[in-house]
Amino acid sequence: MQSNSTHRAVLCSYQHLTACEVLSVPLSFATNMRFKFPLMAIVLEIAMIVLFALFVEYEMDQTILQQLNITESADMGKVLELYPLFQDVHVMIFVGFGFLMTFLKKYGFSSVGINLLIAALGLQWGTVVQGILHSQGKKISIGIKNIINADFSTATVLISFGAVLGKTSPTQMLIMTIIEIAVFAGNEYLVGEIFKASDIGASMTIHAFGAYFGLAVAGILYRSGLRRGHKNEESTYYSDLFAMIGTLFLWMFWPSFNSAIAEPGDKQSRAIVNTYFSLAACVVTAFAFSSLVEQRGKLNMVHIQNATLAGGVAVGTCADMAIHPFGSMTIGSIAGLVAVIGYKFLTPLFTTKLRIHDTCGVHNLHGLPGIIGGLAGIAAVALGASNTSVAMQAAALCSSIGTAVVGGLITGLILKLPFWGQPSDQDCYDDSVYWEVPT
């Protein structure tokens, strides 16, 4: 197999010379990743190790505690209590997001593979930047909550990845990971520590943020050559089934996502229950409206894969508030409806009118439902379901979208530089540009 791929690689290399250098295709589309990509990845990993050596330590080292005559703290006992929730979130990040994006017929390797790369780098970087912001100059002490938050921070990049899926290089995604997580951590600090707003399931700080960041990047990287679509921008029967693996693991474990860092007891319990019922209601309306908007009443796999999840996003901000189970079901129902409408009518408009091409429709799954979540949070606070203030909740929503758009525009401009190995229009949505692909 090795020799076989090498053989193919040599052939490709030759063909590339013919097609690219010899016929003088612009150098900006030289997609050879050798040296450029490995170098950047290795430098980043070394940087992470150095940052960890300087700033990161284990939470409450027992030996130190013993010297100080302190017995094992209560928090240590909670490690295993929260660990299952962490693992659920972990599955959402790596299997959920990864497989959800495998729906494209020739882009499964990149979807699940680059998703893994982004998240693996991002969780290290997220640990550092979140840690520095929250540790007030002390060493960052790592426990179960930190690794949950590290996973969360990667979700923003994975959402944005969905908006530019198929149109960027792995090198570009390394850059986006570093910038976006830094901006995310800044906004999250603002929302949580300065505004003291409530956003337990991160409708605003992760979902809306990730979506609008990605849309801004996608807007800058717009390719008018792909305005009328691309032959590879479609699914196959099996690629759609692979994507359902992602959908289901996201759907099932969303109650863990919305409750993992909630206050133990009543609030955490409510976050679980509200998310559970919001998602259930969302599935029913997503199916109903998917059928309703199609001429023959047929169900559309794009809606089922994505809109069924909108209830988890939309209930996020107020998941731990006393909104009553029927309240969460109402939020979920509306989210499912809005997401289907978005996929059916908004996404085409975005591509043609706004010159923003959103490959996975993250606006419908994370953007709009994230805003619904923010608004539902404002309403819930207004109705007395939480102690935060309406104004601060509104500020959190605006700040999340604002920093996302600004951060995304700047990131887009950096990614537009012509030496990151981005694919030509023709090579978009095709694994074989960056991967050895079996024939």
Which residues, numbered 157-216, are part of the site for a second copy (CB under 8 A)? 170
Query: Looking at beta carbons only, is 111 or 403 nearer to a second copy?
Result: 111
Among 133, 322, 354, 414, binds a second copy (CB under 8 A): 322
Contact status: 430 vs a second copy (CB under 8 A)? no
DSSP state of 389: -
Amino acid occupying residue 313: V
- Candidate segments 190-198, 282-290, 372-380, 403-411, binder of a second copy by CB under 8 A: 282-290
Nearest approach, Cβ of 258 to a second copy (angstroms)?
13
Alpha-helical (H) ranges within 93-169 are 97-100, 108-134, 144-164
**What's the token pair of residue 208?**
């809306």
Among 226, 252, 392, 410, binds a second copy (CB under 8 A): 252
* Closest C-alpha among 167, 205, 110 to residue 358: 167
For 243, the enclosing helix (H) or strand (E) is: helix 237-259
Interaction pattern, residues 344-383, with a second copy; x per rule: CB under 8 A: x--xx-----------------------------------
Task: Count the alpha carbons within 13 Å of 383 in the hemisphere toward its beta carbon.
Answer: 13
* Closest C-alpha among 105, 161, 37, 138 to residue 301: 105
Among 238, 391, 417, 425, binds a second copy (CB under 8 A): 238
- Candidate segments 56-64, 213-221, 403-411, 422-430, binder of a second copy by CB under 8 A: 56-64
Residue position matching structure tokens 């996003």: 313
Contact status: 225 vs a second copy (CB under 8 A)? no
Contact status: 419 vs a second copy (CB under 8 A)? no
Contact status: 38 vs a second copy (CB under 8 A)? yes
How many positions of this chain bind a second copy (CB under 8 A)?
Answer: 139
Nearest approach, Cβ of 397 to a second copy (angstroms)?
25
Q: Which of residues 127-156 bind a second copy (CB under 8 A)?
A: 142-144, 147
- Candidate segments 210-218, 290-298, 392-400, 407-415, binder of a second copy by CB under 8 A: 290-298
Contact status: 116 vs a second copy (CB under 8 A)? yes
Among 25, 222, 287, 409, binds a second copy (CB under 8 A): 287
- Candidate segments 48-56, 180-188, 370-378, 405-413, binder of a second copy by CB under 8 A: 48-56
Give the whole-angstrom CA distance, residue 318 versus residue 201. Answer: 8
- With a CB cutoff of 8 Å and minimum separation 6, the contacts of 106 are 232, 429, 430, 431, 432
Query: Looking at beta carbons only, is 167 or 344 nearer to a second copy?
Result: 344
- Candidate segments 79-87, 195-203, 374-382, 395-403, binder of a second copy by CB under 8 A: 79-87
**End-to-end C-alpha distance for the chain, whole angstroms:** 12
Among 209, 289, 350, 429, binds a second copy (CB under 8 A): 289
Alpha-carbon distances, residue 38 vs 14, 52, 123, 155, 326 (angstroms): 22, 21, 19, 23, 51
Contact status: 285 vs a second copy (CB under 8 A)? yes
Amino acid occupying residue 206: I
In residues, how long is the chain? 439
Contact status: 425 vs a second copy (CB under 8 A)? no
Contact status: 24 vs a second copy (CB under 8 A)? no
- With a CB cutoff of 8 Å and minimum separation 6, the contacts of 121 are 41, 44, 45, 48, 174, 177, 178
* Closest C-alpha among 275, 269, 344 to residue 316: 275
β partners of residue 104: 235
Q: What are phi and psi of 323, to 5 degrees?
A: -90, 5
β partners of residue 58: 142
For 372, the enclosing helix (H) or strand (E) is: helix 368-382
Among 45, 383, 391, 418, binds a second copy (CB under 8 A): 45
Contact status: 47 vs a second copy (CB under 8 A)? no
Query: Looking at beta carbons only, is 159 or 321 nearer to a second copy?
Result: 321
Beta strands in 319-428 (DSSP E): none
Query: Looking at beta carbons only, is 16 or 355 nearer to a second copy?
Result: 16
